[in-house]
């Protein structure tokens, strides 16, 4: 366990007896009491996650917008200050460096929030691409702690506790707020399919805010529930649904690529891929008998292996065995009969859409 980094909330996790594991170089809580209880608290009430391990990279300078739009699959130049935009960093060949949120602070300042496991790689990539742009790129990950507070009662919890009204803060927007005398960023974003917020600030501030949430009974949730929640919402996770071998087109994320904007890294490769057609793409699966289709399990059509499960669970909310999988395009149509190989048995299932769950975003 040595050489692992600690978030500002590790002491809390240890005090609660959370099961801790190494994740992206950090010692992180996987579960406090029960993944099922933590998952349900977010679906039905309110839960909070320590996501201080996420990477924060600040881009500043005259060319901020043109630079971000050069490296980002989505588009930032036309967006108002205070907007959060989801998209990807792409390699020239169209595969994915990382997926991320861009917080547009102003025309000359954007905060890029990236996956913890990719922060170092992303930072190096971003610096390399900044030649010729009047920008500075700084990795501020160690300066920020982060809490995700998620669930239908997240907004009311913040209102009651801090007297801060977030009812006007729109989906995928952010604002600077003072909480417990600390300046923090609050955005209406998350990774659960529920309404909720992410709060970024100095690690000391994040500890104070976390303890305040804890004192009013917000359920602490580990990375275990974070994964079951994002999976049901069909949100991709780097290294699973997306990777440096998968493009946004194959992963069903084309809506987060703005082809009509000026040139950006990876654009040409994606256009060629759309022109020539995909080999495999991401689909939803549902098994027709109870079994659990887990990550890496092969997907079959008859005797032919046609793909693999990227993430799968016995869904806690839906109580059904469902999965996301990469399959050959010939077998990707909704309703196609497939089977997943589980402990040497072929368990029958069908291709379905990835709208596993009605998302409860407040827009």
Residues of the shown chain interacting with another protein in the complex, contacts defined by CB under 8 A: 30-31, 34-36, 224, 227-228, 290-292, 294, 313-314, 316, 342-343
Q: How far, CA to CA in Å, does 213 sit from each of 46, 127, 208? A: 10, 37, 9
Cα angle, residue 84 at apex, residues 28 and 123 outer, rounded to 5°: 55
CB–CB of 20/29 below 8 Å?
yes
Burial class (CB within 10 angstroms; exposed 0-12, middle 13-18, buried 19+) of 359: middle
CB 213, min distance to another protein, A = 24
Closer residue to another protein, CB minimum distance, 65 or 229: 229
CB 224, min distance to another protein, A = 6
Closer residue to another protein, CB minimum distance, 294 or 359: 294
Closer residue to another protein, CB minimum distance, 191 or 297: 297
Closer residue to another protein, CB minimum distance, 37 or 328: 37
CB–CB of 187/196 below 8 Å?
no
Closer residue to another protein, CB minimum distance, 210 or 313: 313
CB 34, min distance to another protein, A = 6
CB 314, min distance to another protein, A = 5
CB 36, min distance to another protein, A = 6
Closer residue to another protein, CB minimum distance, 31 or 327: 31
Pairing between strand 196-201 and 145-150? antiparallel
Closer residue to another protein, CB minimum distance, 261 or 294: 294
CB 96, min distance to another protein, A = 25
Please give the backbone phi and psi of residue 185, each rounded to the nearest 5 degrees, phi first. -100, 130
CB 21, min distance to another protein, A = 11
CB < 8 Å & 24+ apart, contacts of 357-363: 357/193, 357/232, 357/233, 357/234, 357/317, 357/318, 359/193, 359/194, 359/233, 360/152, 360/193, 360/194, 360/195, 361/171, 361/193, 361/194, 361/195, 362/155, 362/171, 362/188, 362/195, 363/170, 363/171
């Amino acid at each position: 366990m040595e050489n692992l980094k600690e978030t500002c909330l590790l002491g809390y996790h240890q005090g609660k007896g959370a099961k801790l594991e190494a994740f992206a170089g950090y010692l992180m809580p996987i579960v406090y009491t029960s993944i099922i209880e933590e998952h349900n608290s977010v679906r039905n009430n309110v839960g909070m996650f320590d996501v201080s391990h996420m990477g924060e990279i600040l881009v500043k300078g005259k060319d901020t917008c043109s630079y971000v739009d050069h490296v980002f699959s989505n588009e930032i130049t036309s967006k108002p200050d205070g907007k959060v935009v989801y998209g990807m960093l792409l390699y020239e060949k169209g595969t994915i460096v990382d997926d991320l949120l861009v917080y547009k602070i102003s025309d000359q300042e954007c905060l890029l929030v990236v996956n913890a496991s990719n922060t170092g790689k992303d930072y190096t990539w971003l610096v390399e691409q900044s030649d010729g742009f009047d920008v500075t790129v700084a990795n501020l990950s160690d300066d920020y702690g982060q809490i995700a507070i998620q669930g239908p009662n997240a907004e009311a919890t913040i209102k009651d506790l801090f007297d801060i009204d977030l009812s006007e803060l729109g989906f995928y927007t952010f604002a600077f707020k003072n909480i417990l005398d600390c300046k923090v960023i609050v955005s209406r974003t998350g990774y659960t399919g529920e309404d909720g917020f992410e709060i970024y600030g100095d690690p000391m501030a994040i500890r104070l805010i976390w303890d305040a949430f804890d004192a009013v009974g917000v359920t602490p949730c580990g990375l275990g529930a974070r994964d079951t929640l994002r999976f049901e919402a069909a949100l991709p996770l780097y290294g699973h649904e997306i990777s440096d071998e998968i493009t946004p087109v194959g992963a069903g994320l084309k809506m987060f690529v703005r082809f009509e904007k000026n040139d950006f890294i990876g654009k040409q490769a994606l256009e060629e891929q759309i022109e020539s057609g995909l080999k495999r793409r991401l689909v939803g699966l549902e098994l027709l008998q109870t079994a659990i289709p887990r990550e890496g399990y092969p997907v079959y059509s008859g005797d032919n292996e046609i793909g693999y499960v990227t993430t799968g669970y016995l869904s806690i909310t839906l109580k059904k065995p469902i999965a996301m999988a990469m399959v050959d395009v010939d077998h990707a149509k909704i309703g196609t009969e497939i089977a997943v190989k589980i402990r040497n048995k072929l368990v029958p299932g069908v291709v379905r859409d990835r709208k596993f769950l009605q998302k409860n975003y407040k827009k």
